[in-house]
A and B are shown apart, each in its own frame.
Chain A
């Protein structure tokens, strides 16, 4: 079974630039999550999709972050403009029918 795919694995950008991350969940998984994990901390939920609809985005900084899941399959998370404090690992996860979440390898973002 193919896992959750994320790209890129690493990204370095300057502050005020924009960046986008891509996630392809496991086939058939209706629920997709984006998490931000700052070094030394637990993953923080940014946004949760059920198919192509947003279930929760209460912790997404909407002035600079956006996410979409067109067609209810793959998803992109964008940051524009980036700040130094956005440096983190961005994790995508998917789940089926309230089961466990399967995580991708993550994208490590460094903002300089």
Chain B
């Protein structure tokens, strides 16, 4: 069965430093992978997706993600963190039946 794992409950990064939020997946067939962000009392906002092509995907707000097929990973990255990036981040995978399965989320704290 398809699944998504986010191994870190929380990630703390100093403002201006690079950040990485980890995600690994398990899915049959070619993966459709997504990252979403959630701010307090808000719905889920789309950041970026990987379907096929270049392994480095660029998305909203300066975020990017690196797809690694051999490691079945899709880590979210940003070269220089902002305090406003503090939020809850979810990795998700779409399976062959179009179900979109989410990870448990990683809370990102950017320290001023």
Contact = CB atoms under 8 A, between A and B. Distances in A.
A56 B95 CA distance: 12
Contacts of A42: 6, 90, 102-105
Contact of A98 (B6, B32, B104): B32
Interface string A31-48: 101010000111111001
B108 to A, nearest CB: 15
B94 A98 contact: yes
Interface centre among B46, B99, B103, B104 (most CB of A within 10 A): B99
Give the size range of B's interface with the partner. Answer: 20 to 34
A103 interface: yes
Given A42-B90, A98-B32, A105-B42, A31 B104 contact: no
Contacts of B101: 45
A71 interface: no
Contacts of B34: 100-101
A106 interface: yes
Main secondary structure of the interface of A (DSSP, over half): strand
B97 interface: yes
Interface of B: 6, 32, 34, 36, 41-46, 49, 90, 94, 97-105
Interface of A: 4, 31, 33, 35, 40-45, 48, 50, 55-56, 91, 93, 95, 98, 100-106, 108
10 contacts: A40-B105, A42-B90, A98-B98, A101-B34, A101-B46, A103-B36, A103-B45, A104-B43, A105-B43, A106-B43
